[in-house]
Amino acid sequence: MKRSSDVINNIDWITVLLYFVLIIMGWANIYAAVYNDEHISIFDISQRYGKQLIWISVAFILIITILLIDNNFYENFAYLLYLATIFLLIAVLIFGTKVHGARSWFEIGPIRFQPAEFAKLATALALARFLSTFGVKITKMKDLAIAGLIIFVPAALIVLQNDTGSALVYASFIIVFYREGLWTWLIILGLVLTTLFISVLMIDIFYILLVLPPLGILIFYIVEKNRAYALVALIVFIVINGTLYVLNKYTLSIDYTYIILISVFLTILVFIFPAYKFKLKTFGILSIILIGSMAFSFSVDYLFNSVLEKHQRTRINVLLGLEEDPTGVGYNVNQSTIAIGSGGVFGKGYLQGTQTKYDFVPEQDTDFIFCTVGEEWGFIGTTTVISLFLFLLLRLIYMAERQKSKFKRLYGYGVASILFFHIIINVGMTIGLAPVIGIPLPFFSYGGSSLWSFTILLFIFIRLDASRKEQF
Amino acid sequence: MENKYANRKLIISGFIILVLIIFISRLFYLQVPDNHYKRSAENNATRHLTQYPSRGLIFDRNGELLAYNKPVFDVLIVKKEVKEFDTLEFCRIVEIDKAELIKKFRQIKSRFKPQIIIQLLSFERYSLLEEKLYKFSGFYTQTRTIRAYAKPIAANVLGYVGEVNQKTIDNQPYYQSGDYIGISGMEKSYEREFRGNKGIQIFTVDVHNRIKGSYKDGEYDSLALVGANITTTLDARLQAYGEALMKNKKGSIVAIEPSTGGILALVTSPTYNPNLLVGRERTKNYRKLAIDSLKPLFNRAIRSSYPPGSTFKLVNALIGLQEKVITTKTVLPCNGGYRVGSFHQHCHHGGAVNFIYSIQGSCNAYYSQVFMRILKDNKFDSTGIAYQNWRNHLLKFGIGRKLQTDLSYEREGIIYTKEHYDKFFKGRWRPLRLVSMAIGQGEIGITPMQLANITAAIANHGYYYIPHIVHEIEDRDSIDARFYKKNYVGIDSIYFPPVIEAMELVVKAGTARRAYIPGISICGKTGTAENPHGVDHSIFTAFAPRENPKIAIAVYVENAGYGGTWAAPIASLMIEKFLNDSISRPYVEERILNANLLDVKK
């Protein structure tokens, strides 16, 4: 009895409050998104907002249950839970029901249940458990490989379910790795390559090649803090490039992308000797990175456009959300930016949205729920929601950092990473900043599985945090 | 060891903050600065249903219906909603071939907005389609009206209605693609009155274009305002009679009521049945009319610039009197013409010709001398200035400028400026070069409308009202103010009686005896205009009765010969028809009706 009152006293009420505020706002927006004049009772369970109320009630039961379970349970059973989830993920491939082309649902009577949603938290637990094991270090290749495998297995199974969006969430664990000491350069390299990869597919390679050299010079300037060199390099590049451009125009007329490549080589050649003489180490590294990036962009572009068959290309495009709706590329994003933009500063008022209510925005109560916020509550509303999420994430990091147990800290970071990834992808896609990947907005999107999994994810951490003062 | 990487929490937090700040900036950009997203949203979620008002009706001066409206039906399509359907059945119902349907379907760009795909369906086709419409998802119908004409007359006066072009749409926001607009004639000049105002109903719709309700409780809805009916000054019977008389002849008749300027009849021949230029056959028919070598679409009455011929002597007589270069007592020699040096203006009178006879017998020599006197008038410093003064007189008569009637595309006619001749003569004027203008030949051109107007001014003893077609616009107290104003031609009224006296003699005992009708005092003047197109134009202008004139008329029959032979009897028939509503000389009428003057050889 004493223990449980201790738990109550040490619960981080700020996080709990944030959770409730988000859940209530989420529900109100689902109500608005599917609102129609015929079903106005909030308890109408034929409507999604009625159902969501039930899911919320169940979530409350889950919360109480989680808070009652012993502090050490999660760490002790982390691997078991993980294995059970893997088993469910395999089972769903065989026995699952197909919804929207993804075989990721179990259907038991009226209840549908998506194991992928719960795999995230099991993975977070297992990863935390593994990385907190004595002697395991993320910088050791073997440990990194095992940690990678813990993430890769569920992600791969989810890809097999044809639910790539949910699988991409696992990339967010990179933040946990980073916190535990993964090399910065690896992270940066990963980020650069990912950015380049997506950029090449989204933008004409010509523009990427045009932007890279000045970007390299800018980085050189930031690192070396040598304005003179940077300026001279930029001018030399522009002069060489310009001369070649004009020459080319009246002579060979080869593709301009090659002109940029040649200009870059010539510029580097010009600077090799002075750089060697003045021992500018960054120059060498940056040159290699620049040439490497350009080569990488070229390879991706070549691979994508010349080697892959058209249907394979389309498939990648769809995965990246570049071709979400093959009959009208960009329709969804277009409609959602219109809906959000039309909200203006103060919004159209609660239940007054036309874009979301009349189905112009697709999936307006699940993946595109943020549009309802934008349309009905305006800039005030969207900023509030984003700020609440930001506050929650920072609070989670703060909580993670105050743990004495490495397991708890790692798990805390896992929770923050998963939520962060969901938020940026989901909100990002509605405002055209991220590819259209169908993953829910935590606590907002309609759906029992996602609501429950986020609730459990969060409250396990709140439970762990409540016992932070205990010795183990 | 544990805390070695602790500072990374700051980098991670910083990264999160950075990303979310970028998001907020993007949201700021989307939501705060301008409202174009709001507009897109409204376009998305509203459907504008236009209610087309029917055009105003057109009546003649006696209240007889000339033009009305009949309902037609358009088929609209919302591409997004179209599902597979039996194209053959659809094509059969709307009478269109499949290839054309596919072409039209492709031409429609918007996937969400209802667009017209098939226009002007007849009522029978429409009813058939309505019955089967449930089979064709995404297709809708819309009713509107098109013009119909009670009588096949006055096509060029009434003009026609057609779809607006892109330029009009760009310049006048009232019009939208597919709307109708008056393109010529009255339909054009009274477009604003005729069209009324479109009504609009705005509904909110969902993504499937299903109507969800009225947008903002109908705050922006408006009712269609029916176009105003217009009563014209035309006399339908006279118009129809004129067109019948001009059948198989090229030319024009313009009849004006001198006391008001109202146009009683405006015939241009050949003409066409106005019903040809409405409905689905419009384009086909229009093309046919446009390439017709007789130019039925060309309104000769206001667009054709003819030499006035001897009818112009009336004007020169009046100017001569006003400028006092002659008096009504002036007698001038005519020895078979007018000779100066090697110049010879042919004429057929012998001996001396007096003022009255100069008009009655249409003496070329007399007017050559009058015109020379006008040009060499000592009052003026030079011939050029004298010419300018003479030209100013003509402008007052409405020659060489637009009369500003309410018919569209009116022409000025031709009368060159002093500057033109200054240049032509290189400073040294040789008035003899211009002498053919004395008798309405040479470098002068007037429209039948202008000639009728001159005669109306003579009938009024010195002023005219701008000829106009509109008598009354529904719900308006008056028509345009310019039609109520007396326009003086700058000739003192004392000079008119002798000219009118002579004009009456022209009909009683002069060149237009064929126009004589016992009991009606017709005052007229014939003209026979040489022209480069072949046989002379037959011209006659007249007003009647002499006291308190009711009608002033000008008749041009192209390439038909002497004015007295054809134009004069036609005018007399028109006058009699208008004044008495009966024809006392059926043989004259028969001769005209049967005459085919389209192909007269010299």
Query: CB B41 to CB A354 under 8 A?
Result: yes
Close Cβ partners of A351 (under 8 Å, ≥ 6 residues apart) = A32, A35, A357, A376
Measure A463 CA to nearest chain B CA, in Å: 22
More confident residue, A10 or B58: B58
Banded model confidence at residue A1, pLDDT cuts 50, 70, 90: very low
Tokens found for residue A96: 């699952």
| Chain B residues within 8 A of A375 when measuring between CB atoms | 41
pLDDT in tens, A162-192: 777 788 899 999 999 988 888 877 888 888 8
Query: CB A354 to CB B27 under 8 A?
Result: no
pLDDT of residue B92: 87
Tokens 């376009």: give the residue. B43
| Chain A residues within 8 A of B113 when measuring between CB atoms | none
pLDDT of residue A206: 77
Q: Measure Cα distances from B292 to A75, A468, B295 in Å.
A: 97, 100, 5
The amino acid that residue A371 corresponds to is C
Q: CA-CA distance, A397 to A409, in Å (whole number)?
A: 9
Query: CB B204 to CB A358 under 8 A?
Result: yes
| Chain A residues within 8 A of B202 when measuring between CB atoms | none
pLDDT in tens, B229-258: 999 999 999 999 999 999 999 999 999 999
pLDDT of residue A356: 67
Measure B37 CA to nearest chain A CA, in Å: 5
Does residue B112 have a pLDDT over 80?
no
Sign of the CA dihedral running B456, B460, B466, B468: negative
Close Cβ partners of A95 (under 8 Å, ≥ 6 residues apart) = A106
Measure A354 CA to nearest chain B CA, in Å: 6
Query: CB B41 to CB A355 under 8 A?
Result: yes
Does residue A338 have a pLDDT over 90?
no
Query: CB A358 to CB B8 under 8 A?
Result: no
Q: What is the mean pLDDT of residues B418-422?
A: 91
| Chain A residues within 8 A of B28 when measuring between CB atoms | 379
Does residue B87 have a pLDDT over 70?
yes
Q: CA-CA distance, A386 to A374, in Å (whole number)?
A: 11
* Residue among A369, A438, A425 at smallest CA distance from A172: A425
Lowest mean pLDDT among A17-21, B180-184, B219-223, B309-313: B219-223
Query: CB B23 to CB A379 under 8 A?
Result: no
B408: three-class secondary structure by DSSP: coil
Mutation target for B interface from A37, A132, A137, A360: give the one with most B CBs within 10 A.
A360
pLDDT of residue A42: 66
Lowest mean pLDDT among A327-336, B130-139, B284-293: A327-336
Close Cβ partners of B580 (under 8 Å, ≥ 6 residues apart) = B520
Query: CB B206 to CB A345 under 8 A?
Result: no
Query: CB B41 to CB A342 under 8 A?
Result: yes
B116: three-class secondary structure by DSSP: strand
pLDDT of residue B583: 92
| Chain A residues within 8 A of B208 when measuring between CB atoms | 359
pLDDT in tens, A386-439: 999 999 999 999 999 998 889 999 999 999 999 999 999 899 888 877 777 778
pLDDT in tens, A393-402: 999 999 999 9
Close Cβ partners of A446 (under 8 Å, ≥ 6 residues apart) = A30, A48, A51, A52, A365, A366, A369
Query: CB A390 to CB B205 under 8 A?
Result: no
Q: Measure Cα distances from B472 to A381, B266, B477 in Å.
A: 61, 18, 8
Mutation target for A interface from B30, B32, B111: give the one with most A CBs within 10 A.
B30
Of B12, B23, B44, the CB nearest to A386: B23
| Chain A residues within 8 A of B20 when measuring between CB atoms | 386, 389-390, 423-424
As a whole-number percent, the residues of chain B with pLDDT over 70 amount to 93
Q: Which residues of B touch A (CB under 8 A)?
A: 2, 4-6, 8-9, 11-13, 16-17, 19-20, 22-24, 26-28, 30-32, 35-38, 40-42, 44-45, 111, 204-208, 212
Residue B526's Cβ-side half-sphere holds a number of Cα atoms within 13 Å equal to 33
pLDDT of residue A328: 45
Does residue B575 have a pLDDT over 50?
yes
Does residue B379 have a pLDDT over 80?
yes
Q: CA-CA distance, A146 to A354, in Å (whole number)?
A: 50
Q: What is the mean pLDDT of residues B11-22?
A: 91
| Chain B residues within 8 A of A433 when measuring between CB atoms | 22-23, 26
B230-232 and B58-59 as β-strands: parallel, antiparallel, unpaired?
Answer: parallel
Nearest CA in chain A to B3: A180
Q: Which of A139-143, A251-255, A381-385 has the highest mean pLDDT?
A: A381-385
What count of CB pairs under 8 Å joins A to B? 117
More confident residue, B565 or A185: B565
B199-205 and B211-214 as β-strands: parallel, antiparallel, unpaired?
Answer: antiparallel
Q: What is the mean pLDDT of residues A45-55?
A: 81
Query: CB A339 to CB B2 under 8 A?
Result: no
Q: What is the mean pLDDT of residues B514-536?
A: 91
pLDDT of residue B38: 66
Q: Measure Cα distances from B418 to A115, B141, B381, B385 in Å.
A: 99, 62, 14, 7
Can you list the domains of chain B with their CATH numbers? 65-149 (3.90.1310.10)
Q: Which of A102-106, A342-346, B142-146, B386-390 has the highest mean pLDDT?
A: B386-390
Q: CA-CA distance, B136 to B308, in Å (whole number)?
A: 63
Banded model confidence at residue A326, pLDDT cuts 50, 70, 90: very low
More confident residue, B11 or B261: B261
pLDDT of residue B318: 96
Of B12, B31, B212, the CB nearest to A340: B31
| Length of chain B in terms of residues written | 602
Banded model confidence at residue B41, pLDDT cuts 50, 70, 90: low
Question: Are A53 and A42 a contacting pair, CB within 8 Å?
Answer: yes
Q: CA-CA distance, B76 to B136, in Å (whole number)?
A: 11
Measure A203 CA to nearest chain B CA, in Å: 20
Question: Are A42 and A435 a contacting pair, CB within 8 Å?
Answer: no
Query: CB A340 to CB B23 under 8 A?
Result: no
pLDDT of residue A362: 65
Query: CB B204 to CB A374 under 8 A?
Result: no
Q: What is the mean pLDDT of residues B107-127?
A: 79
pLDDT in tens, A250-299: 777 777 777 788 888 888 888 777 777 777 777 777 788 888 888 888 88
More confident residue, A166 or A7: A166
Does residue B221 have a pLDDT over 80?
no
* Residue among B61, B20, B433 at smallest CA distance from A428: B20
Q: CA-CA distance, B78 to B93, in Å (whole number)?
A: 19
Does residue B524 have a pLDDT over 90?
yes
Does residue A323 have a pLDDT over 60?
no
Q: Measure Cα distances from A315 to A98, A304, B303 in Å.
A: 19, 11, 68
Banded model confidence at residue A234, pLDDT cuts 50, 70, 90: confident
Of A337, A389, A401, the CB nearest to B37: A337
